[in-house]
Amino acid sequence: MAITVAQAYEIASRLGCRLLAGEKGLARDVSFIDSIEQPDIEPWIRKNIFYITTGYAFRDDADKLCSLVKALYEKDAAALAIKSRFMESFPEPVVELAKQLGFPLILMPDDLPFIELSYPIMVAIVEKQNNLLEFTKLKLFEYSTQVMDNNLFVDILTGNIKIPDEADYRANALNWIKPPIRLVVMDIDDFESYIQNKNEEDIQNTKDAVINMIKDSVGRKQVKCTVVNKNDSFTCILSQSYTVEMLKQVFAEISQRIHDKGGLRVSAGISSVAEQFIDLGKLYEEARDAISIGRLHRSSDIMYIEEIRFEQALKRMCKDPFYKEYTNGILSQLLEYDKKNEGHLLETLETLIAHMGVRNTTAESLFLHRNTLAYRIKKIESLCGYSLDDSDNLFKLGLALKMRHYI
């Protein structure tokens, strides 16, 4: 069973919403409430859904808004609730079309957060079905909030939102943490192996459990954040006010808890700081880079991007095919020799460079006699064509060795 638009509007009117048109459609069923922020979403419109929008995507184009209303009507959507903050006045052609179609068009107050409208309507829908207990109502609130948080995050990351004001407005409507902000991204290690032989419901239950553990853990530490989920990653949007050292400690504890309770290993990356929500994509890429660099070097499960900017620069550079050719040109003969002879020339070169070319400490580190080291160095020089007594050559070879990891 579902509620009607009339029942949903009764809730909305108490929050300051006003019916602009479509009284004839108040008997339509409402089975769910969702947000809509892009003009070209006709293929994804679903029957009996009560849609809400900031109206930003339609601010300068009444024709697009008319097309949306018509598409919602034709796909048997329930109603559209919209804000008019980004419009000088609400377009009369849209109101007239809604009247002709008998499609409910509702005007929301600009300062009304989406969740304050969506939550009571969703509670009414499910109460109609099951006469929910308070605990289940709370779960419903968390679910509807999570869906809208995820939608906004993905819209920003994918470039569907290009204007800073729109990102800020929608984030404020969902009560996100105010900028300046940073991200901590947690990623499940070897997720592809984990989900083998698991159905979609099991996978979603695992993701929900991880989100709940993150929210519970940060809540215990009195850390305020918004948690969103994208694929097998869990992103925490946090205030700049929390120090990096504190975040490392908090998320190390969360990582351990996830492992203890769910048997999953996670890696985490901490981004720099941004002044606007529109820059979330940049922060997300930084945190993802930190995770991949941490996994590569196995130095820590939690990496802060500002501490590994050089490695990040190498990672970004190596997307260019030129650097693959450059690195292969320098190291290919060493790699081939080691493969054919089960040798250790590459390891020897890396250790020599790590010891700044000092041979005594290099030999000690490798547990080699100095004559054995001298033989290996001579072999490396003959294969690479570089003298290892030259500090510039050591730098060039060291750079090639580092870049090799990112190719």
pLDDT at 159: 84
CB 321 within 8 A of CB 327: no
Q: Is the pLDDT of residue 186 over 70?
A: yes
Question: Residue 310, Cβ neighbours under 10 Å: how many?
Answer: 10
Both structure tokens of 175:
């009560």
Q: What is the DSSP letter of 23?
A: G
Residue 193: pLDDT over 60: yes
Model confidence at 144, in pLDDT bands (50, 70, 90)? low
Integer Cα distance of 407 and 392 in angstroms: 23
**What is the C-alpha to C-alpha distance for residues 339 and 347, in angstroms, rounded to an integer?**
12
Residues 46, 75: contact at Cβ < 8 Å?
A: yes
pLDDT higher than threshold 90 for residue 219: no
Secondary structure element (H or E) that encloses residue 295, with its range? helix 280-297
Phi/psi for 281 (5° steps) reads -60, -45
Identity of the amino acid at 244: V
pLDDT digits (tens, 9 = 90+) for 264-311: 899 999 999 999 999 999 999 999 999 999 998 877 789 999 999 999
Domains and CATH numbers, the chain: 3-123 (3.40.1390.20), 161-309 (3.30.70.270), 320-405 (1.10.10.2840)
Distance between terminal CA atoms of the chain?
Answer: 56
Express each pLDDT in 227-267 by its tens digit: 998 878 899 999 999 999 999 999 999 999 988 887 889 99
Partners of 274 in the β-ladder: 181
Residue 389 phi, psi dihedral angles, 5° rounding: -85, -10
| 149, 174 Cβ separation under 8 angstroms | yes
* Predicted pLDDT of residue 146: 78
What pLDDT is attached to residue 253? 92
- For the stretch 60-112, pLDDT in tens is 788 999 999 999 999 999 999 998 877 767 899 999 999 999 999 999 998 88
> Confidence band (pLDDT; 50, 70, 90) for 129?
low
